[in-house]
Amino acid sequence: METSRTPRASHVGTSVLFASVVATALLVAMFVPVAGAGATAQKVSTQSATMAGVRATFTYRGTYPEGRNPSLTITRQGVILFKGPVTSAWCGNACWPNTIEAKDKAVHVVRLQAGKTPDVVLDLYSGGAHCCSIEQVYSIGATSKVRKVERNFGDPGARLERIGVGGTTDFVSADDYFAYEFTDFAASGLPIEIFSFSNGSFHNVTRRFPTLIAKDATVWLQAFHAQASSHYQDSVGVAAAWAADEDMLGHATAVKNFLAAQLKAGHLNSALSPIEPGGARFVTVLQAFLQKHGYTK
């Protein structure tokens, strides 16, 4: 098994996500499992998905939105390739299905890799208010051996979209590193991130989708301008997300000019100042942050 991305500890606030384009409505995060639930805990829920002869069956005990002791069975043309418990580095064998409604599926069979056997994807949740949305990929190799790889997508989670090369499916998410970085969680903006999966690894391919980046940038710019009604009391979170999107589009000069103009107008403020930066300090910290995380070159 391979894992990626260690979740960061939350250091400011416990609010819900403000306006991320890809943030899933993880209301299940606020539920706390109840031990010894008797007959309720014995209820077995089963979900399945099929594609090109590959079938995945996901089973867990408990009542939505909670789930315990999940298990997975993968077959191809009726032959069992994998059967066993579902475990994760972030929630052991106590992972929940990461779904918004009881009718939604947490198991998928999709083509993540062009020209290869479809992969099985599980949407899992660790429980808790701010951690963690986990995507597990079960890949079927040439010898029918199944390999599991997982990635922690943090608060925003990820949704499967058929936008990849050759009609393959990718993971559309947002950059969780921006959460709490410049303001509290509720006012933080998280710029779009897109990952493909191939050869046993997740790959950041966001820059391949300039149209989606531009759309995301528009959302954050509109959110920034909406701050005018509150005299830009907490605008740095969405400004940071907009700047990241624009930098990915190669608009570094436009970003610098915009930030300079907004700084002069007094529009770059954090409700948590001086704990979190606003004004000129925000611009300096933001530019260093964007460079550190690969948004600027």
- The tens digit of pLDDT for each residue in 185-225 reads 999 999 999 999 999 999 999 999 999 999 999 999 999 99
pLDDT at 50: 98
- The tens digit of pLDDT for each residue in 67-87 reads 889 999 999 999 999 999 999
Inform me whether the pLDDT recorded for 9 exceeds 90.
Answer: no
Q: How does residue 40 score in pLDDT terms, banded at 50, 70 and 90?
A: very low
Alpha carbon of 26 to those of 127, 157, 184, 228, 243: distances in Å? 10, 9, 18, 29, 26
Q: Is 200 helix (H, G, I), strand (E, B) or coil?
A: coil
- The tens digit of pLDDT for each residue in 125-152 reads 998 777 789 999 999 998 999 999 999 9
Alpha carbon of 16 to those of 50, 102, 140, 236, 279: distances in Å? 34, 21, 37, 17, 25
Alpha carbon of 45 to those of 34, 41, 57, 90, 117: distances in Å? 17, 11, 10, 22, 27
Average pLDDT, the chain: 87
The answer for residues whose C-beta is within 8 angstroms of residue 223's C-beta and 6 or more apart is 18, 19, 189, 238
Measured CA to CA, the distance from residue 108 to residue 99 in angstroms comes to 12
SS3 content of the chain, % helix, strand, coil (to 5): 25, 30, 45
pLDDT greater at residue 12 or residue 198: 198
Domain spans in the chain, listed from the N-terminal domain onward: 27-208, 212-292
Q: Is 151 helix (H, G, I), strand (E, B) or coil?
A: strand
Measured CA to CA, the distance from residue 133 to residue 124 in angstroms comes to 6
Alpha carbon of 185 to those of 18, 20, 238: distances in Å? 7, 11, 11
Placement of tokens 């998928």 in the chain: 108
Inform me whether the pLDDT recorded for 89 exceeds 60.
Answer: yes
pLDDT at 42: 66
- Read off the pTM: 0.85
User: Are the C-beta atoms of residues 142 and 116 closer than 8 Å to each other?
Assistant: no
